[in-house]
Each structure stands twice: as structure tokens, then as C-alpha cells.
Chain A
Amino acid sequence: MKSLGNIRRSFAPWADPQSKPFISFRNITKKFGDFTAVDNLTLDIYHREFFALLGASGCGKSTLLRMLAGFERPTSGEIILDGQDIAAIPPYKRPVNMMFQSYALFPHMTVESNIGFGLRQDGMPKAEIGERVQQMLKLVKLEQFAKRKPQQLSGGQRQRVALARSLAKRPKVLLLDEPLGALDKKLREETQFELMDLQQQLGLTFVVVTHDQEEAMTMADRIAVMSHGKVVQVATPAEIYEAPNSRFVADFIGDVNILEGNVKAAGNGRVELAGGDFTVRAVSDAAPSVGTSAAFAIRPEKLKVSRTAPADPAVNTSEGEIWDIAYLGDMTVLHIKLPSGKVVKTSMLNAQREVENPIGYDEKVWVSFAETAGVVLRD
């Protein structure tokens, strides 16, 4: 796996203008009556990519996946898969397979016949089917359960059968609809890594739909954050987290503090905002016009909390008062009330086993951050 890990690190076909997308959604719109589920959406997914569609329920992510599988037809626009427009191709002729949220295992068939179902449909010779089914059972470590019926398996085992069944036909693209939603937390985390290993091992393109941002960040090469039928941002997990392009994304992914202010100066890669509690000086390519309002988004772990005033208390610094303390084991989350009454959230890693003289309730502290710690968002 180690060598693959290195390949992974340099895997970025989306940054290469030479590479052609494997799946293209072009101006896709899908309407259900008056309701627009997907709104003029354009999106490229590359070969061997692990791609996540992330959003709250009703944002159109599942509809997009179902259009790729062929269960819904776009109202307008085209879907190109491997150079072919697939909009008119019925689901049973598409070279994609889907793993369903409910797993959709056939209750009247054994694990074996469930996995071999698609192969039998293709008229593969019996001996070959048996071989492929064994391979798949081995892949998901369920060899000894071949003769069981789905209702005799645990949730985790069913999930594996569903995965094996959807991989058995060696699809060009595997679609996963909330693949881990029904598993408990611990199993979910394990399975996330297994899915990643599997995807690299098989060299397939995976498109996963999830509402769980942690899941998307763990597994995906790139994430498309969706809202109201549109893609708000497509980027790697790190970019999405560190440089969200909008308040929506900043707020949706992880925790964030939004500091409001008026633009005092902008240009040469720097922006200065005058806010209620802070004067923000940030490194930013955003060039909002002077005088307009803008916001500065900063993650809790990037705020520094100290008892003594920093070197330059005029910039990126505010006084505050400890309002709430939550000890989470690996870290401590502090809610700090600023002079204006706004409460910001900070988190500190508990690097030492015991902290001497920890910060306590109602204590006066200084909150500060670096110029590169957050991003400027235009309204």
C-alpha cells in the first residue's frame, strides 16, 4: 500500500489541463414538477478519482448520482461517460454499478447468488461466475458466509455483500449512495479506510454521496459541496477546509468563526478589515472594494488564546472572557466572549497529559491569529 500512497500524493488530474475528464455533467438540470433538484450543474470527474458529493439532504446530490446510474433522466443537459453521452442509455446497459443506501440485497437469494446476479445477467459462463464470486467473497472477507441469506447477516456484513455485488461486474464507475450510513461509528471509520484501499487496489472511479463531511474528507480525492441543486465548491478536502470559497462552505465543513467587518484597504494580496472586536489584517487574493462589508472566516484551532497580550495588540487580536469550557479528551474547546458580546470558538490540542494551571471560567484572555490563518469572504 505504501507505494500506492505515493502515487496518491501526486494524483491530481484535475490540475492538469491535458487530462480529459472521465465523467462530465454538462449543464444538467433535473426538475420534479415545480421543484428543481439539480440546477444547471456542470462538473467533471476524472478516471480513478474518489469523488464525493457532499451536502445536506435535499441538495440534489442523490438525484445527481441517480442520473449517473440511469434511474432519473435529466430534464436538460448531457452526461458524458468515457466519451459517450449516456443520457438515453437505460440503467441496465450502463457500465456503472451502484451500491444502494439500503443495500437492496435480494432477500430470496444467498450471498453467493446476490453477488453473481449481475454476472448471470450478462450470460457469463457458470465456471467463470463461480470463480469471480469467490474472488469477490475473498475481497470483502466473507468466504464462509457464501450460503447465507442476507437476513442472517449483520449490518456490516450486508454492507460488504452489497459492495461485492456492485463490484462483481467490474464497472467503470462505482456509485455509492451513503455507503456507510447504516453502520455504527467505529465500523464506519474502519470501513472508510477499507473502501479507500479497495478503490486504489482496483483502480476504479468511485463517486460517493454523503451528508457526513468527515466521511467525505477522509475518503475523497475531491469533494463537491452542493446546495440547492448547485455545486458551491469543488476542491480537495484540504482546500475546502482551509480555503472555503463562501460562507456556506465555511460553515458547512467543520467549525468556523465568522468575523464581520468593513474593508479598509485591499490589494497586493492583502486585505484589511475593521471589525467590532478585531482589526483584521490578512493575506488574501480576494480584492473586495474598499468600504464594502466582508467577512473573515477562521477555524477554531487557528485562534491562539493567551493570558498575556501579544506583541502587537492592535492587529488580529482581541480581549475576551472565557464563557464555556468543554474538555473532549484529545482537545479542549473554549467559547470566548468578546467585548462586543460575540462568542468565538477556539480549540486547543491537549498535547500534554496534564496541563498546569489551566485556563478557567471567567478568566480574561487574549485571542489572536496569524495573517495567513483564515480567509476573506466577500458577501
Chain B
Amino acid sequence: MKALGSSIFSRLVIIVPYVWLLLFFLVPFVIVFRISLSTTAIAQPPYEPVFSLADGLSGIIDNIRQLSFDNFVWLTEDALYLNAYLSSIKIAGISTLLTLLIAYPIAYGMAQAPRTWRPTLLMLVILPFWTSFLIRVYAWIAILKPEGLLNQLLLSVGIISEPLIILNTNWAIYIGIVYSYLPFMILPIYSALEKMDHSLIEAAQDLGCPPITAFWKVTFPLSLAGVVAGCMLVFIPAVGEFVIPDLLGGSQTLMIGKTLWNEFNSNRDWPVSAAVATVLLLILVVPIVFFQNMQAKADEKGR
């Protein structure tokens, strides 16, 4: 009886995350996908009704016949969307790389710091989260604008003679994304480095590696899991980022989050914006699933 009880309990424990995903991911996704198959209409909500249980069976079949993938075809016909996707991926990719380059040395330094300092350093990394994200992004406007703090500083020191134009360029977006997502990169890398046995580095040195070689041959490969996790945590939200490009970027900055917002609010074209969202999800999910499959296979092979 006891075994049965515990097996029911362990199943319940597994079910909880699945139910969560079902309710808050799959169901909303199905709703969005359903809208993407419809067409716009001057109505409330602004699209032709898609199947609903109230119509009865014949009504549902009727509605399904009317569904079309026209919105997805439309995305391929107007270069705006493709460009927006590519530009988002490019901006997210560059930002992720920059974040990694800054986060790795910080995480490494934290992992090397005396044990008693580490909680404080960790606290300092998390501290910015205590202020509103929006306020922090607005603060960057004050720093980056032509008469802002950064330019004032550089002018007064004499490094530059004319104010730099950073705000409303892609550089401002990079700065905004790197700043906002830095903790998401630092924490997984730190956790990978922190649990590493220091004697591994000594062993590498003992076997003839100068410290830099020891880093590339031992430390870095062993922190790779943290690097990958950090890159995903930064890249995925950065691709769909809306607030940062909207506030810091220029009018010519093309990012899919902004395009989506325009379709949804300015054009009131819910079906197209739903199609944009669906494709965005596929772009992000497919490579991740592929990558995880590959990693699982590699693990299998190592056994």
C-alpha cells in the first residue's frame, strides 16, 4: 500500500509542471495560433470568429473550412517581416556575445574571490532587480542622450570634442540589452565555475600547462554548460525584446517585437500579429529542441 501511495505521489509531483505548461503555455499558444488562422474584421475582437463550441458541430466544420494560412503566406511576401526577424536575431546574437564577454570575467572573478566575499558579490549582481526594469531603461536615456551624463563626462575629461550620438542607435540597444540581461549570464556561469574543483587547474599546471592554457583546456570546457544556459537565457528574450528597442533604439531599428506591437496596436491586425508571434516561437523553440536532442545523444554516447 505504501509503495502505491508513494508512486501516486511521485506521479502527482511530475504532473504539476505539465499542468502548469499546459495551462500557461500550450493553451495560450493554441489561442494565438487559432487567431493567426483567421482574417481581420471590424468587430470586437477584431477578427472573424474561429471555431467555438457554441456553434455546434456543423458550425465548427464550417468555420474550419474558412481557416487559411494566408497570414503566414503574407509574412513571406512582405520583406518587412523577414528583415525584422533577421535583424532581431542579429541584434540578439551580438548582444548575447557582448554579454558573454562581459559576464564571463565577472563570474570568473566571483568564483575566484575568497569564500566569505561570495554572498556579497552575488547580492551585488542581483541588486539591480530591486528597481523597476522600466526605470532602469529610462535611466539609460539620461546617460546616453547627447547632453547626457556619459557625454558630459567624456567632454569634460577631453576624450571627445563633440557629443557622441549613441541614443536611438543600435549601440544603445546593445548597451540596454547587455545591461539588463547581464545577471542572467553571470549566474549560470558563476554556478558552473564555483563548483569546479580547484585541484583540476593545479593538475593541468602540474602536467605542463601554463595558466592560460590550463584555462582554455580545463576551466572553459567545464564551464560550457553554464555558458550555454546563460546564452539561452539572454538570447531568447532578447530576440523578442520590445521595451529596450522602443525606448533606446531609433525609428529605423527593426525588431520583431516592435513589428508585432505595431501590427497589434496600430494596425489592429490581430491575425497577422498572431502569425508573427507563432513564427517567432518556432524560430526559438526548434533550435533549442534540436540542440537538446544533440546533447542528449552526446551524453548517451559518453556512457
Contact = CB atoms under 8 A, between A and B. Distances in A.
Nearest to B213: A121
Contacts of A93: 208
The bracket for how many chain A residues form the interface is 20 to 34
B197 interface: yes
9 contacts: A91-B202, A91-B206, A92-B209, A98-B203, A106-B204, A108-B221, A108-B222, A118-B208, A121-B208
A152 interface: yes
Contacts of A91: 202, 205-206
Nearest to A123: B208
Nearest to A71: B202
Interface of B: 197, 199-200, 202-210, 213-214, 217-218, 221-222, 302-303
A369 B56 CA distance: 108
B199 A92 contact: no
Given A107-B222, A108-B221, A100 B202 contact: yes
A106 B217 CA distance: 10
Interface in A117-175: 117-118, 121-122, 149, 152, 165-166, 169
A128 to B, nearest CB: 15
Given A91-B205, A107-B222, 18 more contacts: A69-B202, A69-B206, A90-B205, A98-B202, A100-B199, A104-B199, A104-B200, A104-B202, A104-B203, A105-B203, A117-B204, A118-B207, A121-B207, A121-B209, A149-B302, A152-B303, A169-B207, A169-B208
Contacts of A90: 205, 210
A97 B207 CA distance: 7
A166 B208 CA distance: 11
A306 interface: no
A106 B200 contact: yes
Contacts of A121: 207-209, 213
B206 to A, nearest CB: 5
A93 B218 CA distance: 18
Interface in A267-281: none
A46 to B, nearest CB: 23
Contacts of A92: 205-210, 214
Contacts of B221: 108
Interface string A67-102: 001110000000000000000001111001110111
A91 B205 CA distance: 6
A201 B58 CA distance: 89
B285 to A, nearest CB: 28
A282 B213 CA distance: 62
A58 to B, nearest CB: 19
Which 7 pairs show the lowest CB-CB distances between chains A and B?
Answer: A118-B207, A121-B208, A104-B203, A104-B199, A91-B205, A92-B205, A100-B199
Nearest to B207: A118
A333 to B, nearest CB: 40
Nearest to A117: B207
Contacts of A169: 207-208
A149 B200 CA distance: 15
Given A71-B202, A91-B202, A152-B303, A104 B197 contact: yes
A42 B224 CA distance: 45
Nearest to B198: A104
Contacts of A102: 197, 199
Nearest to B221: A108
A105 to B, nearest CB: 8
A69 B207 CA distance: 11
Contacts of B217: 117
A106 B218 contact: yes
Contacts of A104: 197, 199-200, 202-203
Contacts of B208: 92-93, 118, 121-122, 169
Nearest to A97: B206
Nearest to A175: B206
* Residue from A104, A105, A106, A169 with most neighbouring chain B CB atoms (10 Å): A104
* Residue from B208, B210, B221, B302 with most neighbouring chain A CB atoms (10 Å): B208
A118 to B, nearest CB: 3
A92 B207 CA distance: 6
A271 B18 CA distance: 85
A106 B214 CA distance: 11
Contact of A165 (B207, B209, B218): B207
Contacts of B204: 106, 117
Contacts of A165: 203, 207
